[in-house]
Amino acid sequence: MRITVDLNKCIGCGACELACSQKNDGAFRISKARIRVDKGPETILRDKKFAVYVCHQCENAPCILSCPQGALFKDSTTGIVKVDEDKCIGCSLCVQACPYNAIWIDALKGKAFKCQICDQVQPPCVNICPRNALSIGGGE
Amino acid sequence: MAMVTVTLEYTLKFRSITGKDLEKVTLEDKTTIGGILELLKLKYGDIFEKEFANPSGDKIAGAPLLLLNGRALKLPEGLNTYINDGDIITFTYAIAGG
Amino acid sequence: MFGYAGQILKVDLETGKVVKEPLKDELVKGYIGGLGASAKILFESLPPMTEPYSPENVVIFATGPAQGTLIPGSGRGLFVSKSPLTNRIFNSNVGGYIAAELKFAGYDLLAITGRSSKPAYIAIDGDNVEIKPATSMWGKTTYETQAMIKEELGDKSFQVACIGPAGENLVKYSAIIHNLHAAGRGGIASILGWKRLKAIAVRGDKSIEVPDKDALIAFYKEIREKCSKHPTLPGYGTTVALGTINKLGCLGTRNWQTEVFEKAANIDGYTTIPKYKRLDIACTGCPMGCGKVQEVAEGKYAGALAKGPEYETLYALGSLVGVGDFDALVSAARLCDEYGLDTISTGVVIAWAMECYEKGILTKDETDGLELNFGNGDAVNEVIKRIAYKNGYLGNLLARGVKEASEIVGCGSQYFAMHFKGLELAGHSPRGVKGWTLGYSVGWRGGSHHDGRVHDIEYPKTFEERALKYEDKPEIVYKTVHRVMIEESLITCRFFGGYYGPLEPNENHLRILKLTTGFDMTLEELWRTARRIRTLIRCIEVRDGFGRKGDVNAPPLRVLNEPIPEGPSKGAHAKPSEFKVMINRLYDLMGWDRETGKPKSEVLKELGLSDVTI
């Protein structure tokens, strides 16, 4: 399962970023959201759409393959790709490997962070979106 | 019996429901605006009556607006207004923003 | 501190000094934030009669406690300064994402003083604040500038607000552009241009805390539900207001010579949105999504792509200049955004010039060969370019704003220079909506349709109540002015005025204040805060030499002398005798002296402003 985005519906409000960070980081803090929206004017003018970055929970995840510490792994039950913070050294090779721009380094902690589907039934991002642009679905 | 012809203009939601921008209807003299709403109810269902005869919900944010020749009718009293030949009745919403 | 970031950032462009001050409790308890806090800071730091183009003039970028949270409509921020158009304190509101980002960077307000010796931009990266050279960006359009700065800083997530060539060239109604949004009105962009400040760039990594996040999110969902039922804003933005206002017969047309536009259907959102809209866009955390990105697909103006044009622009660059060619209109709107020009003022100035041209007051020599007739959409596009670069006699003249331009040209053209207090008139009829005759005249910004925001209340009314009745308007304007004080201090978007307002400060505002800051204010204290803010703004105006004279002389003579000549609102008239009664009554409500227009000393005392001398 993963968070899927319908870019035809996204209005770039970033409510998902606010709801995600509130849940996963304890306060409103867009920079620590696990789902990010590219709201840049260049993007809008070029594509006439927003871009949304959130982990695809890939089958053969490039981030997992890139990690020298084995700090990234796929949960065998849910298929969710997770970060083992004890092993992560914040080297950012995963950031470069990810084709979806969906993993980042928390500079203060020195650890990678990404969407780990904090709520498999009602993820806060899916729940908050005013245009139903997000859903939780299967596949890659 | 004297007859009058009026134009009904539809905008926004009302356009989607009727499928038209406007239509001309010929009615008996002595028909009221309320009478027109009755006619529209038969033709298109509850929506006109709901919005204009029994308005509910947020009156101001997107208030339904019934115009007679460009002038808003006070509802529900305005429903008793008699129509005249050549009248234009507009079904729309109050403006928001700008 | 809940809701607030807790710091004020001060940057002096001359010395390069960067100072961070804690946000004081007394400031937020007395003034909330946003406009309120800015008024207090400007009252204390601006000398009386400060020249807008001077090192002493402060430009503030302000946020309130709602920014950076999920309060619907909180995607707004304010630029506040002393405007070169009105010579009074002026707040210019901008949407998008930059206000939230300033909060995440750790600041509630940014105050800029001084003047840089070279083109510069301020880069705010959390705790790290630098003044960087902007020599390579100087001269670039607002879109090019944003791209260049983000490239230089190495991160697309920086939010940038900048001026374009118009601001650099000190066009008096130039606009600050952030993303695709504009802090359009008041010419604050030209103050930045004078200070040689090309842009501010912000990125933040901090958080905003609220006392009860579940309650706040529940509030968001409540309002989100209402937004989903809104009949016009989510699907059409404000574009369909053009058709409705035309149907009511109060749409400013051909410089307000009349108020029905025969080509309204061509530019009404109803016709245009299905064909031209490409994307809905929203500001931070907003469930309404009223922004409409539109594109011209074919023809002479193919490729013109802009956020908007929305209602005010459809009025100013459409009906007001007699242009029914939507393609030309989109192109004109796009040019204004790229050069950084306020579409409203631009349209009003051009409409004035068109009337001058048609009356022979401006000749073809003076228009540098352009046939400046109403309806000439190509000419509108050309004139915009000349204004941005102050090109030729016409560009130079019009760049000064309609008040100054009409004073220079004279020959009776001041009669139809459509401004209140120097700010060009927005798209809401001061004749067709009686509340606006008063609202524009007593607003601190003059021709802004936000100061005494009566339309949520007035537009649904009958013709008699909206356009003819005057006795009830002072009370209505008094209440809506104070609502705007609160909403511009929290800061929430005026498009939620229907839900949070629509008339006066009330429990919804108290709820928002509590959800963001935890403050428990009573309704009485909220009203007193609103009055304190408006009164302090009035004190700044008085200190700058303004009072009753400025208010009673605000309406353009066309508005006072000519009733609406035709259409459904024919006969609506801003009668001078009624206007006088309304102003006097409003002064009484405000506690301003009837003769001078100054706040009375007992009012100052009541609001805790007894140390203010005016």
Which residues on A lie below 8 Å from C279 (Cβ)?
A: 11, 44, 48-50
Could you read off the pLDDT of B65-88 as tens digits, one per residue? 899 999 999 888 889 999 999 999
CA C31 – CA C23 distance, rounded (Å): 12
Question: Closest chain A residue to C212 measured between Cα atoms?
Answer: A27
CB contact under 8 A, B70 and C247: yes
Q: What is the rounded distance in angstroms from the CA atom of residue C398 to the CA atom of residue C439?
A: 26
Q: What is the largest CA-CA distance in chain A?
A: 42
Q: Confidence band (pLDDT; 50, 70, 90) for A37?
A: very high
Tens of pLDDT, residue by residue over C72-99, are 999 999 999 999 999 999 999 999 999 9
C311–chain B Cβ distance below 8 A for any pair: yes
Residues 125-164 in C contacting B (C-alpha not used; CB under 8 Å): none
Q: Measured between CB atoms, does B68 come within 8 Å of chain C?
A: no
Alpha-carbon distance C569 to nearest alpha carbon in chain B (angstroms): 8
Pair C157, C203: CB distance under 8 Å:
yes
- Report the greatest alpha carbon distance in chain C: 66
Task: With beta carbons under 8 A apart, name residues in chain C contacting A11.
Answer: 279-282, 289, 291
Beta carbons within 10 angstroms of residue C151's beta carbon: 12
Among the partner-chain residues C210, C221, C293, the one whose CB lies closest to the CB of A44 is C293
Look at residue B64 and tell me whether its pLDDT is greater than 90: no
The confidence score (pLDDT) of residue C584 equals: 98
Contact C151, A15 (CB under 8 A): no
Mention every residue, 6+ apart, whose C-beta is less than 8 A from residue C221.
Answer: A128
Helix-, strand-, coil-residue percentages of chain A, each rounded to 5: 25, 20, 55
Name the residue type at position C472.
Answer: D
> Do residues C312 and C427 make contact, with C-beta atoms less than 8 angstroms apart?
yes
Rounded distance, CA B10 to CA C243, Å? 12
Distance of residue B11 Cα from the nearest chain C Cα, in angstroms? 8
3-state SS assignment for residue C277: strand
Beta strands C291-295 and C305-307: pairing type? Answer: antiparallel
The Cα C175–Cα C167 span in angstroms is: 7
pTM for this prediction: 0.96
- Environment class of residue C128 by beta-carbon count within 10 Å: exposed (0-12), middle (13-18) or buried (19+)? exposed
Question: CA–CA distance from C136 to each of C121, C140, C179 (Å)?
Answer: 11, 8, 20
Tell me the average confidence (pLDDT) per consecutive run of 10 residues in chain C, 614 residues long: 97 98 97 98 96 98 98 98 97 98 98 98 98 98 98 97 98 98 98 98 98 98 94 94 96 98 97 97 96 97 96 98 98 98 98 98 95 98 98 97 98 98 97 96 95 87 95 97 97 91 93 98 98 98 97 97 97 95 98 97 96 86
Tens-place pLDDT, residues A64-115: 999 999 999 999 999 999 999 999 999 999 999 999 999 999 989 999 999 9
A42 in contact with C, Cβ within 8 Å: yes
Q: So what's the pLDDT on residue B97? A: 56
For residue B60, is pLDDT > 60? no
Interface contact flag, A44 C69, Cβ < 8 Å: no
- Amino acid of residue C547: G
Q: Within 10 A of B45 (CB to CB), how many other CB atoms are there?
A: 11
**DSSP state string for C179-233:** TTEEE-TTSHHHHHHHTTEEEEEEE----B--S-HHHHHHHHHHHHHHHHT-SSH
ipTM: 0.97
With an 8 Å Cβ cutoff, are C227 and A130 in contact? yes
| Residue B53 pLDDT > 80 | no
B12 neighbourhood in chain C, CB within 8 Å = 231-232, 236, 240, 270
Using a CB–CB cutoff of 8 Å, tell me whether C204 touches chain A. Answer: yes
pLDDT at C140: 98
Is some CB atom of chain C closer than 8 A to the CB atom of A24?
no
- CA-nearest residue to A36 within chain C is C157
Beta carbons of B93 and C568 less than 8 Å apart: no
Q: How far apart are CA C2 and CA C519, in angstroms?
A: 9
How many CB atoms sit inside 10 A of residue B29's CB? 12
For chain A, say whether C161 makes contact (Cβ under 8 Å): no
> Of C313, C429, C459, which to mutate for an interface test with B (greatest number of B Cβ within 10 Å)?
C459
Residue A46: which region, alpha, beta or left (left: phi > 0; alpha: psi -120 to 50)?
alpha
Cβ contact, residue pair B72, C248, below 8 Å: yes
Closest-CA residue to C441 (of C425, C464, C463): C425
* C180 touching A (Cβ < 8 Å): yes
Q: Are C177 and C188 in contact (CB under 8 A)?
A: no
Residue B54's pLDDT band (boundaries 50, 70, 90)? low
Tens digits of residue pLDDT in C437-461: 999 999 999 999 998 889 888 998 9
- Look-up: residue for tokens 């004190």? C539
User: What phi, psi does C255 have (nearest 5°)?
Assistant: 60, 35
CB spacing of A13 vs C282 below 8 angstroms: yes
Residues of chain C positioned with their CB less than 8 A from the CB of B73: 462
Q: Tell whether C521 is within 8 A of chain B (Cβ).
A: no
Does the pLDDT value for residue B55 go beyond 70?
Answer: no
Per the CB < 8 A criterion, the answer to whether C614 and C49 are in contact is no
Candidates A2, A5, A67; CA nearest to A37 is: A5
List the one residue out of C102, C104, C45 whose CA is nearest residue C78.
C102
Report whether C6 contacts C108 (CB < 8 A). yes
C240/chain A closest Cα distance in angstroms? 20
Distance CA C35, CA C57 (A): 16
Quote the pLDDT of residue C131.
98
**C97 Cβ under 8 Å from any chain A Cβ:** yes
Interface of C with A in 552-591 (CB under 8 A): none
Q: Mutation test of the interface with chain C: which of A18, A37, A50, A101, choosing the one with the most C Cβ atoms within 10 A?
A: A18
Nearest CB neighbour to C568, from listed B60, B70, B74 = B70
pLDDT > 70 fraction of chain C, expressed in percent and rounded: 100
What tokens does C72 get?
Answer: 């619907």
Q: Which residue of B has its CA nearest to C459?
A: B94
Flag whether residue A106 sits within 8 Å of chain C, measured between CB atoms: no
* Residue C453, pLDDT score: 87
B-chain residues within 8 Å CB-CB of C244? 11, 65, 92-95
Q: Do chains A and C meet with 3 or more Cβ pairs nearer than 8 Å? A: yes
pLDDT-based confidence at residue B96 (cuts at 50, 70, 90): low
- Cα separation, C99 vs C67, whole angstroms: 6
Residue B56 has pLDDT above 80, yes or no: no
Chain A neighbors of C207, CB-CB under 8 A: 21, 25-29, 32
Question: What's the first-to-final CA gap in chain C, in angstroms?
Answer: 34
Question: Any chain B CB within 8 A of the CB of C498?
Answer: yes
CB contact under 8 A, C460 and B94: yes
Disruptive mutation site among B14, B68, B71 for chain C (greatest number of C CBs within 10 Å): B71
Residues of C in contact with B70 (CB under 8 A): 247-249, 463, 567-569
Q: What is the mean pLDDT of residues A107-128?
A: 96
Helix and strand totals (H; E) in chain A: 5, 8
